[in-house]
Amino acid sequence: MNAPVFTADVNQVRKEDNLARLIVDGFAAPSLAKDIKDVELGYQLPFESKNSGICIGLVCKPGLVTLSRLSRVRGKYVCLIASGEVYEPKKEALGEAGVPLWPHAFVTLSGDTNKFVQNLRSEYICMVYGDIRKEIEKTCYLLDIETIII
């Protein structure tokens, strides 16, 4: 799928339903939303004044996604690679994070949630639409980067 990268914080992981909630603080490509009409503009938190920046609010459209995170372990690069399915949450789910206007993605992870959490190493992760796990693995192989497949 030809869509931009969603670079976000892993705001919440719920092991009981394999949920990873991703949130970015104010900006994401509007094309990540299911419909451009669903994209909102507002003032950037925490200021909420006309002197603060503009914030784009959206929920990422449903679809198969690949997640990845490049990190280092004992001085050597490793790449976490996971997949999942973005779904549309109920409206009240946006308020649970405390920042309903910020861009969100709700992902049901395909693999072991415990292994995902243990290997994240940072709150940041990249998400793209489509299954590009093999491409990331091949790139890591060429660059001598260890992969952690979830």
**Cα dist. 125→22, 105, 120 in Å?**
8, 12, 8
Q: Are 109 and 80 in contact (CB under 8 A)?
A: no
Rounded percentage of the chain residues whose pLDDT exceeds 70: 89
Domains of the chain: 6-149 (3.20.14.10)
User: What does the pLDDT look like over 108-149, one tens digit per residue?
Assistant: 999 999 999 999 998 899 999 999 999 999 999 999 999 999
**Average confidence score pLDDT of the chain:** 88
Q: What is the mean pLDDT of residues 90-101?
A: 72
47 pLDDT more than 80: no
Instruction: State yes or no: pLDDT of 48 exceeds 60.
Output: no
* Omega prior to 89 cis, within 30 of 0: no
